[in-house]
Amino acid sequence: MPELIAKLQTEHDLTDAELLNFLTEPQPEDILFAAADAERRRYYGDAVYLRGLIEFTNYCKNNCYYCGIRAGNPCAERYRLTDEQILACCKEGYSLGYRTFVLQGGEDPYYTDEKICALVSAIAMQHPDCRITLSIGEKSRDSYQRYYDAGARRFLLRHETASPEHYRKLHPESMSLENRKRCLFDLKAIGYQVGSGFMIGSPYQTPETLLSDIRFLQELCPAMIGVGPYITHRETPFAEMPPGELHFSLRIVALLRLMFPKALIPATTAFASLHAEGRELALRAGANVVMPNLSPVTVRKHYDLYENKVCLGDEAAHCRGCMERRIASAGYRAVVAVGDSLV
């Protein structure tokens, strides 16, 4: 057993020097993934939690340099789902067995706090046995509190990078790492189960920025850690930048599982978009959540964060069955449950 993997298994931590070594030296993947798999089974067994993802708007006021739905992309065809459409997605999702609905969107000023609260209350009223997750970007503490009071209990907001210099290279002046972190700590203080994370292989990422990502996650202690390879989008300032590398990304998933044994770690769509069996590979490297798409097929292709995004033409019911088969083929069991994290 290589020394670093053995230490991760017993101590769930490494020194800065050891982490940099892990991030720069090739690791024996079979041993690493087996160690990560043992760790996930210790707390979560073979369960893989399903979350129904509803991408309800692709309007965005921000201009993140990596993202295809940035405000500055004139080619993006914009859409918003109506409340009725969103509620219909939840209803269909419920009948397919989902007990968590994730409402994700760009930072769309059309959705005032009143509108978000009305939507959250309506979903909570119709599905009292479900969790509502929001992923709608940076807001004031007061707004986050209002969504919580309306019934939202989880919030996904990736920090994207914990290095201020790297953050500056990925985002325009109007955004700051400081505010992103403020949001995450506000969300925690209110009582949300918080998900954070970052892209792997994003432009200008280095082993040192990854080290700061890991240290930041240790400080935040999120319930969920969402990571996935960066994938280039041609209508962005990063059109010429290469995508993240699959195997390196899988090694990061395994590292995170070993360092955060109780965290929920999704096998993200970006993995599936980079490789036909990317989700299965991520599950086997330690991931234990998948988020199949519940959005109406007519709008799927417009939630165009990156190129070659998968499952664009599949009905929700098809996705549900497909996901269950994929999870089983990887050696795990899809679970119909709220699926709170153990963190």
Closer residue to ligand SAH, CB minimum distance, 158 or 279: 158
158 sits near ligand SAH (criterion: CB under 6 A):
yes
Question: Which token pair is 208?
Answer: 């040192």
Q: Could you say which residues in the range 15-54 bind ligand SAH, by CB under 6 A? A: none
- β partners of residue 267: none
- β partners of residue 55: 104
Closer residue to ligand SAH, CB minimum distance, 192 or 306: 306
Nearest to 81 by CA among 73, 72, 70, 89: 89
Q: Could you say which residues in the range 179-238 bind ligand SAH, by CB under 6 A? A: 199, 228, 230-231, 233
In the bound complex, what is the minimum distance in angstroms from residue 278's beta carbon to ligand SAH?
12
- β partners of residue 195: 156, 224
- Enumerate residues 6+ apart whose C-beta is below 8 A from 266: 51, 224, 226, 287, 289, 290, 291
Q: Are 155 and 195 in contact (CB under 8 A)?
A: yes
Q: CB under 6 A: which stretch of 7-15, 92-100, 155-163, 217-225 binds ligand SAH?
A: 155-163
Q: Which single residue brings its beta carbon nearest to ligand SAH? A: 306
Q: Which of 76, 101, 103, 107 binds ligand SAH (CB under 6 A)?
A: 107
In the bound complex, what is the minimum distance in angstroms from residue 107's beta carbon to ligand SAH?
5
270 sits near ligand SAH (criterion: CB under 6 A):
yes
Q: Which of 66, 101, 155, 167 binds ligand SAH (CB under 6 A)?
A: 66
- β partners of residue 194: 155
Cβ-based burial of 178 (10 A; exposed 0-12, middle 13-18, buried ≥19)? exposed
Closer residue to ligand SAH, CB minimum distance, 63 or 85: 63
111 sits near ligand SAH (criterion: CB under 6 A):
no
C-alpha distance across the termini of the chain, in Å: 28
Separation between Cα atoms, residue 123 and residue 90, nearest integer Å: 7
Question: Which token pair is 177?
Answer: 């790492």
267 sits near ligand SAH (criterion: CB under 6 A):
no
Closer residue to ligand SAH, CB minimum distance, 104 or 212: 104
Residues forming the site for ligand SAH (CB under 6 A): 66-67, 104, 106-107, 135, 137, 157-158, 160, 199, 228, 230-231, 233, 270, 305-306
